[in-house]
Amino acid sequence: NWTTGSVIEEQVEAIRAQVGDKRAICGLSGGVDSAVAAALVQKAIGSQLTCVYVDHGLMRKGETEQVEKDFVAATGANLKVVDASERFLTALAGVSDPETKRKIIGREFIRVFEQAQLEILQEEGPEVAFLVQGTLYPDVVESGGGTGTANIKSHHNVGGLPEDIEFELVEPLRQLFKDEVRMVGQELGLPDEIVQRQPFPGPGLGIRIVGEVTKDRLDLLREADAIAREELTVAGLDREIWQCPVVLLADVRSVGVQGDGRTYGHPIVLRPVSSEDAMTADWTRMPYDVLAKISTRITNEVADVNRVVLDVTSKPPGTIEWE
Ligand code: XMP
């Protein structure tokens, strides 16, 4: 007999039994799964948990603050925030190939996260032995069902630590589906902005700028994206729309006319999709007046954007993201 309360109780017991009086680390991504996993472990072992959030500078407007303030306020968790945005920008400089961007972001992310783990180990001693992960039931099935351990290697060791450190994994969401995870998160008091968050790719806005990723372009895209999200929420479309990537075509220059003269700016693409599982998707037939409002606001409020276009491609053949 499944109830959210019984799942929480059961998992709290299991986490306490597994971790004992040792310490655990959990990486937060800003997404639902890692936040709920961390909140559960926090409920079970309190200050024995340290959460780590790597700010890669590729998040949407307000999302880092949501983790820093709202998540901490809701859970009381210890949080270590690593601001690595400069490092990511440097690593991405001059790169416009989508797959290369993905690889760079993934690689830097692992390096920064492992560095943070090593610092925590040095501060808190070798009894840190557990790594919390927000693995869901569909991930377990897909990967063949094994539970595991994780290694951090010595290649960027900050010194004074054993060659390899092995973590035992804590995966309190292994039996749950996404909707159940959201219910558990809500019951644990996490804010709706976290619990109801739509899918967002790990490489973040880095793969929503077609062209090189720069600070200015990120700031511009963050503004356009915030306007689109705000208007979709006001229009009550957050449930109907699975996710709505907002993409900056930074390598395209479009001509516009604003005020007295011609402008040379960039187009923004809106990509609202309806989907069950992101494997297939269709473009959302959303009301013209909402599209008009978003378009007017973005072209008025975001400098260097003089055109807003709508992506009307289903998946397949188009993917949800542009890169
Ligand atoms: P596509 O673009 O392949 O996206 O139709 C399917 C779903 O996956 C998300 N996505 C990613 N998520 N890292 C992620 O964590 C990635 O590199 C990545 N690429 C795409 C996308 O937002 C959609 O929900």
Where is the binding site for ATP, in residues?
29-35
Ligand 1: atom nearest CA of 315 is 5
DSSP state string for 159-196: SSS-S-EEEEEE-TTTT--HHHHHHHHHHTT--HHHHT
Pocket test for ligand 1, best of 320, 322, 323 (most atoms within 8 A of CB): 320
CA of 281 to the centre of ligand 1 (A): 12
Distance between alpha carbon 45 and the CA centroid of its chain, in Å? 25
pLDDT given at position 1: 67
CA of 200 to the centre of ligand 1 (A): 7
CA of 322 to the centre of ligand 1 (A): 10
CA of 136 to the centre of ligand 1 (A): 17
Identify the residue whose C-alpha is closest to ligand 1 atom 6: 278
Pocket test for ligand 1, best of 133, 242, 276, 321 (most atoms within 8 A of CB): 321
pLDDT given at position 172: 98
Identify the residue whose C-alpha is closest to ligand 1 atom 19: 201
Q: Ligand 1: does its nearest atom lie under 6 Å from the Cβ of 311? A: no
CA of 211 to the centre of ligand 1 (A): 18
CA of 258 to the centre of ligand 1 (A): 35
Residues 74 and 256: their CA atoms lie apart, in Å, by: 46
ipTM of model over 0.95: yes
Best CATH choice for the domain 4-195 from the list 3.40.50.10860, 3.40.50.620, 3.40.720.10, 3.30.70.3270 = 3.40.50.620
CA of 274 to the centre of ligand 1 (A): 14
Please give the structure tokens belonging to residue 120.
């925590």
Residues 66 and 152: their CA atoms lie apart, in Å, by: 28
Q: Ligand 1: does its nearest atom lie under 6 Å from the Cβ of 278? A: yes
pLDDT given at position 126: 67
Residues 174 and 163: their CA atoms lie apart, in Å, by: 30
pLDDT averaged per 10 residues, the chain (length 323): 92 98 96 98 97 98 97 97 98 98 97 94 82 94 78 53 76 97 98 96 98 98 98 97 98 93 96 96 98 98 97 98 98
Where is the binding site, in residues?
29-35
Question: Residue type for 38, please?
Answer: A
Please give the structure tokens belonging to residue 315.
């998946």
Identify the residue whose C-alpha is closest to ligand 1 atom 9: 201
How far, CA to CA in Å, does 65 sit from each of 29, 81, 89, 219?
Answer: 12, 11, 20, 16
Q: Domain-by-domain residue ranges, the chain?
A: 4-195, 208-310
By DSSP bridging, strand 128-132 and strand 165-170 are parallel
pLDDT given at position 157: 44
Ligand 1: atom nearest CA of 275 is 24
How far, CA to CA in Å, does 21 sit from each of 47, 52, 129?
Answer: 11, 20, 10
Q: Ligand 1: does its nearest atom lie under 6 Å from the Cβ of 202? A: yes
Identify the residue whose C-alpha is closest to ligand 1 atom 4: 320
CA of 279 to the centre of ligand 1 (A): 10
Question: Residue type for 73, please?
Answer: A
Contact 219, 251 (CB under 8 A): no
Q: 161: exposed, middle or buried (C-beta count within 10 Å: 0-12, 13-18, 19+)?
A: middle
Q: Ligand 1: does its nearest atom lie under 6 Å from the Cβ of 318? A: no
CATH architecture group of domain 208-310: 2-Layer Sandwich (3.30)
